[in-house]
Structure 1
Amino acid sequence: MDFIPKILIVDDEQDLREILQFNLSSEGFQIDVAASAEEALTKPLETYHLILLDVMMGGMSGYKMADIVRKEHKLDVPIIFLTAKTSENDLLTGFNVGGDDYIVKPFSIKEVIVRIRAILKRGRATEQPSTTLEHEEMKVDVDRKMVSIDAEAVALTRKEFEILALLLRNKGKFISRQEILDRIWSNDVIVTERNVDVNIARLRKKIGDYGSQIIGRSGYGYCFEK
């Protein structure tokens, strides 16, 4: 049977929810909806392949929900933010709490569909045969998307995991910020090299003593020391 992605739409505007639900269902996606972040958090989030999440809602914001999904639920389900906020700080906030993409309102349904397909395709295309990358007592299970240090699980966001795996596959080699952007983020996502630095900083903290082995050099990018 063909793969049918299951998407959760979280938005407090009923009209927009219904428009998105109708159009995405027509494209063959399996759709569920929630009128608030609070309602969304009661759903089995681990069963969704992607979340469309409004930023500004009455009650809990989309940013707060994304933070909970990443830190408390420890899920790496792709999150696309829907928002009217367009400043660089707003964009960075969205990515810093674990967002994968950022669609600015007003938007066309076609744009939403293209973004969704790009993220889902990227996620499936990057799946590798069962492989474990190892560095001393740190193990990165590429197939299961899990990281452990001294047999203790380490919770990383999707981007942090992909950056760590990329650096470990290329130990001893510097990878430029632009190459990291090109390989980890899709070309149609508005991000800057500063966002790479933010993700690297968070990754260093999460992997403890191994964080000091991720070396940054101006003009060269980042390298995981052998």
Structure 2
Amino acid sequence: MTDAKIHLLIVDDEIDIREILQFNLENEGYLVDLADSAEQALEKIQNSTYHLILLDVMMGGISGYKMAEKLRKNNNDIPIIFLTAKNTENDVLTGFSIGADDFITKPFSVKEVIARVKSILKRTGKVDDSIINKSSIIIVKNLSIDIDRKEVCIDDQSVNLTKTEFEILLLLLKNQNKLFSRNDILTKVWHEDEYVLERTVDVHIARLRKKIGDYGKFIINKTGYGYCFSH
């Protein structure tokens, strides 16, 4: 799990959204505060330090855009992810022009929110990479691999992998963009089984690619070097 010292603020006037985000983000190990309005959020920001804000755009009183403007005018650089039912080009441009770091359109996937939060925290350097990478769940877009439960899901649907396929995918996801030779994979996944041939790696990766569908294209074979996961 991530370090509980990572402090998030969720600002949304819909109680269901606040609660579902709080539940799932706290399960990831984050410390989460809630606000049902921009006014309440601005008060909380005066008294606490946050690493990131999930901010609804359309609220009664001060809008999410106005709240972001106030923060930026006060030289507050807290990363902001806007939650919005509006996703026209003008809306997005407006958000980015006043200092948004990302947009998530409602209705959203909780896994997508978690992935975006981790990505923004890492990119903005608000927390150390080693803290973010302690999570027992690795997420790439809508693909997630739960290391503790030995589960892989795509779009919240479970993917049935063999133990070997799971271990190969886990190895590649934990070391994204790093090339592993077939011998490296044999050593790390099959360990000391001397009867397994390098060709076996190709067969298992072909099956794995097929099972994970569109994500299979991210498992790249660089001729003469080996395999890596890169997206």
Q: TM-score range by the shorter chain?
A: 0.5 to 0.7
Match of 2:52 among 50, 53, 77: 50
Q: Partners in 1 of 2:125 and 2:61 — Cα distance?
A: 34
Aligned residues of 2:13 and 2:59 also touching (Cα < 8 A) = yes
Give the number of equivalent residue pairs: 126
Alignment partner, residue 103 of structure 1: 104
- Same amino acid, percent of matched pairs: 63
In terms of Rg, which structure is larger? 2
Measured after TM superposition, the shift of residue 50 of structure 1 is: 0.1
SS at structure 1 position matched to 2:62: coil
Residue identity opposite 1:4 in structure 2: K
Per-residue CA distance 1:44-63 (angstroms, 9 max, x = gap):
35600000000001111000
Q: Name the SS of the counterpart of 2:24 in structure 1.
A: helix
Q: Shift of the alpha carbon at 1:43?
A: 1.2
- Structure 2 unaligned blocks of 5 or more: 129-231
Query: Which letter does structure 2 place at the counterpart of 1:70?
Result: R
- In structure 2, the residue matched to 1:12 is 13
Q: Which amino acid in structure 2 is aligned with residue 66 of structure 1? A: A
- C-alpha change, 1:12 and 1:118, in structure 2 (3 Å) is same
| One-letter identity of the residue aligned with 2:38 | A
CA distance in 2, matches of 1:3, 1:33: 16
Letter in 2 for 1:104: T
Q: 1:24 to 1:91 in 2, by over 3 A?
A: same
Deviating 4+ runs (over 3 angstroms): none
The answer to whether the 8 Å contact 2:13/2:37 transfers is yes
Secondary structure at 1:4's aligned position in 2? Answer: coil
Hey, what does 1:59 align to over in structure 2? Answer: 61
Q: Report the RMSD for the aligned CA atoms in angstroms.
A: 2.0
Report whether the alignment pairs 1:91 with 2:92. Answer: yes
Corresponding residue number in structure 1 for 2:80: 79
**Secondary structure class of the residue paired with 1:44:** helix
Unaligned runs of 5+ in 1: 128-226
- For residues 140-182 of structure 1, the C-alpha deviation after alignment (integer angstroms, 9 at most, x for no partner) is xxxxxxxxxxxxxxxxxxxxxxxxxxxxxxxxxxxxxxxxxxx
8 A contact 2:3–2:30 mirrored in 1: no
